[in-house]
C-alpha cells in the first residue's frame, strides 16, 4: 500500500492547524514552519533538499545517527518477523537487550549488585515507575527534585518538574524542590561547588518533608534546564544525604546516558555514585519509542505485588533497535568521539564567548553543551530575545539547535554522537555568523 504523502509545507501546516490540539500545534520553536524529509547520520534535509546539521539530535533521541543503517536493518528485520509482542509472552530480543543493559551498570565494590530492567514506552513513563518504585520500596511518600529539573509530561513526571511553566495545575504532590547546583547563576553564587547545595538538601528534608523520604531524582546533567552539570561531589553527596533519610537515589539518564557525556556510558559515573534506580529513554533506541527503568533487584521486586503493565514496553522492534545502538556505540567508539568532538566544540564556543559579550556562559561536557545568553554580563540578565535571534540565524546558517533553560536563554547542543571535527568547524562558523547578525540587530 502506498500512502499519499504531500511534502507541500502549506498543506501540512493547514492539516496541523486543523487537526492538532493546541498543545501539540503550538510547540513549534522556529518562526516559520519546518519540515524534514530525510535524515542521514548528523544531517537532516528539508522538503526543498536543503541540508542542516542536527545539533538537537531530534530532541536527544538520535544517539548514533539519523536513520542509521544498522539500527534500521535490525528494526526492519524484527518488524517483518513480528512487529509487536507484549511482555506477557517470552521474546528473546527484549530479554537479550535487558541483559545487555544491565551489563552497562556498575557492579559495586563487592561486585554483587544485581540489576533488573522494566521496559516502558517513554522517558516519562519510566520516571513515573521509578517514583512508584521508590515510594513502594521505602514506604515513604516525599520525593525531592531539583528546581530546574525536567522529567517529562505525564502527571507524576510533571510533579517532579521544577519550573512552573512546564507544569499544569493540579499535579500530584509530596514533592519538595531543592536548588539546582548551577555553577553559573545558582543561589550560592558562581562556582560555589557542591557543599552548600548538599546542605540545602538536608535543610529541605528537615523543613519541607516528614523527615523520611522516598528519594531524590537527579539528571546527571540537566537537559531542558539548560545543560546544568552536577558539580563534583554533588551526586554522591546527594545519594548519601537521601539514604540517611531513608530514601533512594534516582538517576535520570534520559538525556545524559548512552555515552553522551563522553567520559562514561552514564552521567552518574563521573561522580562514582551508584544509583538505586536509573531511568533511561531517548538515545536508547535511536528514535524508536522505548524507555526503561533499571533498578537494583531488591528495589524492583515489591512492584510485583501490584499490576504494572506497559503494553508496548519490551516491544521487540524498539528493543532490536536498542540492541543495534549498543553495538554501534561500541564498534564505532562513539563515546570517545563525543569526548573528542565535544571537547573541540566546547573550545570553539569558549572562543566565541571571548568575542561576543552577549554570551554569558558556555558549559557542558561531551556532546551535551550550551551557550547561555545575557543582556548584561555582570548581572547575568537572561536574554531570551537575543537567544531567539541567534537561534533563527542559526537555522539560516543550516544549524538546528534548541532553546532551553528556565528563561529560554540557553542554546542547547545535543547532536548525534557521530558529529565530526569537520562539523565542528562548520558549526563554529555558523554560530559566529549568527552572533554577528544578532549583534548588528539583523535578526
Interface residues toward ligand PMP, by CB under 6 A: 122-124, 127, 150-152, 219, 223-224, 252, 254-255, 281, 291
Nearer to ligand PMP, 252 or 392 (CB): 252
Nearer to ligand PMP, 135 or 260 (CB): 260
In the complex, residue closest to ligand PMP by CB: 123
Q: Smallest distance from the beta carbon of 58 to ligand PMP, in angstroms?
A: 11
Residues 6 or more apart whose CB falls under 8 angstroms from that of 99 comprise none
Q: Exposed, middle or buried, 92 (CB in 10 Å: 0-12/13-18/19+)?
A: exposed
Nearer to ligand PMP, 256 or 386 (CB): 256
Nearer to ligand PMP, 255 or 315 (CB): 255
Nearer to ligand PMP, 45 or 166 (CB): 166
Q: Smallest distance from the beta carbon of 161 to ligand PMP, in angstroms?
A: 9
Residue with cell 540517611: 244
Q: Smallest distance from the beta carbon of 190 to ligand PMP, in angstroms?
A: 25
Nearer to ligand PMP, 172 or 302 (CB): 172
d(Cα 294, Cα 280) in Å, to the nearest integer?
A: 8
First to last CA, the chain: 45
Q: Smallest distance from the beta carbon of 8 to ligand PMP, in angstroms?
A: 29
DSSP secondary structure string for all residues of 2-47: PPP----HHHHHHHHHHHS-HHHHS---SSS---EEEEEBTEEEET
Residue with cell 502506498: 2
Contacts of 421-424 with C-beta under 8 Å, sequence gap 24+, read 421/340, 421/341, 421/344, 423/42, 423/53, 423/341, 424/341, 424/344, 424/345, 424/348
Q: Smallest distance from the beta carbon of 6 to ligand PMP, in angstroms?
A: 28
d(Cα 67, Cα 286) in Å, to the nearest integer?
A: 8
User: 294: closest CA among 101, 90, 91?
Assistant: 101
Residues 6 or more apart whose CB falls under 8 angstroms from that of 49 comprise none
Nearer to ligand PMP, 41 or 254 (CB): 254
Q: Smallest distance from the beta carbon of 150 to ligand PMP, in angstroms?
A: 5
Measured in degrees and rounded to the nearest 5, phi and psi for residue 139 equal 75, 10
Under a CB-based contact definition with an 8 Å cutoff, are residues 106 and 269 in contact?
A: yes
Nearer to ligand PMP, 183 or 255 (CB): 255
Q: Smallest distance from the beta carbon of 327 to ligand PMP, in angstroms?
A: 23
Residues 6 or more apart whose CB falls under 8 angstroms from that of 184 comprise 190, 360, 361, 363, 372, 380
Q: Smallest distance from the beta carbon of 283 to ligand PMP, in angstroms?
A: 11
Amino acid at each position: 500500500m502506498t500512502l499519499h504523502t504531500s511534502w507541500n509545507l502549506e498543506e501540512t501546516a493547514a492539516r496541523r492547524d486543523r487537526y492538532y490540539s493546541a498543545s501539540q500545534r503550538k510547540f513549534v520553536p522556529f518562526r516559520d514552519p519546518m519540515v524534514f524529509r530525510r535524515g542521514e547520520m548528523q544531517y537532516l534535509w528539508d522538503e526543498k533538499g536543503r541540508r542542516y546539521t542536527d545539533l538537537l539530535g531530534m530532541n536527544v533521541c538520535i544517539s548514533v545517527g539519523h536513520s542509521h543503517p544498522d539500527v534500521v536493518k535490525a528494526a526492519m528485520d524484527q518488524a517483518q518477523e513480528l512487529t509487536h509482542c507484549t511482555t506477557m509472552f517470552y521474546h528473546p530480543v527484549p530479554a537479550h537487550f535487558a541483559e545487555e543493559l544491565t551489563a552497562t551498570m556498575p557492579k559495586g565494590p563487592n561486585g554483587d549488585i544485581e540489576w533488573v530492567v522494566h521496559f516502558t514506552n517513554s522517558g516519562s513513563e519510566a520516571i513515573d515507575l521509578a517514583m512508584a518504585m521508590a515510594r513502594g520500596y521505602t514506604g515513604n511518600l516525599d520525593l525531592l527534585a531539583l528546581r530546574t529539573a525536567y522529567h517529562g509530561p505525564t502527571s507524576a513526571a510533571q510533579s517532579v518538574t521544577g519550573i512552573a511553566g512546564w507544569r499544569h495545575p493540579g499535579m500530584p504532590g509530596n514533592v519538595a524542590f531543592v536548588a539546582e547546583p548551577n555553577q553559573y547563576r545558582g543561589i550560592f553564587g558562581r562556582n560555589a561547588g557542591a557543599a552548600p547545595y548538599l546542605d540545602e538538601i538536608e535543610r529541605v528534608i528537615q523543613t519541607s518533608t516528614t523527615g523520611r523520604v522516598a528519594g531524590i531524582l537527579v539528571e546527571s546533567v540537566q537537559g531542558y534546564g539548560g545543560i546544568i552539570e552536577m558539580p563534583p561531589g554533588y551526586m554522591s553527596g546527594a545519594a548519601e544525604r537521601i539514604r540517611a533519610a531513608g530514601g533512594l537515589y534516582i538517576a535520570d539518564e534520559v538525556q545524559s546516558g548512552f555515552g553522551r557525556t563522553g567520559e562514561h556510558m552514564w552521567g552518574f559515573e563521573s561522580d562514582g555514585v551508584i544509583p538505586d534506580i536509573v531511568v533511561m529513554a531517548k538515545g536508547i533506541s535511536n528514535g524508536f519509542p522505548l524507555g526503561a527503568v533499571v533498578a537494583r533487584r531488591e528495589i524492583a521486586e515489591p512492584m510485583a505485588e501490584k499490576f504494572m503493565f506497559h503494553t508496548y514496553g519490551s516491544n521487540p522492534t524498539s528493543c532490536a533497535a536498542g540492541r543495534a545502538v549498543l553495538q554501534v556505540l561500541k564498534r564505532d567508539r562513539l563515546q570517545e568521539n563525543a569526548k573528542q568532538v565535544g571537547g573541540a566544540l566546547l573550545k570553539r564556543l569558549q572562543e566565541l564567548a571571548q568575542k561576543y559579550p552577549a554570551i554569558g556562559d558556555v558549559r557542558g561536557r561531551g556532546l551535551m553543551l550550551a551557550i547561555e545568553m545575557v543582556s548584561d554580563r555582570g548581572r547575568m540578565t537572561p536574554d531570551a530575545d537575543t537567544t531567539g535571534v541567534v537561534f533563527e540565524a542559526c537555522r539560516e546558517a543550516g544549524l538546528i539547535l534548541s532553546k532551553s533553560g528556565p528563561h529560554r536563554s540557553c542554546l542547547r547542543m545535543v547532536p548525534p554522537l557521530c558529529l565530526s571535527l569537520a562539523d565542528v568547524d562548520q558549526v563554529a562558523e555558523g554560530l559566529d555568523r549568527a552572533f554577528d547578525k544578532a549583534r548588528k540587530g539583523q535578526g
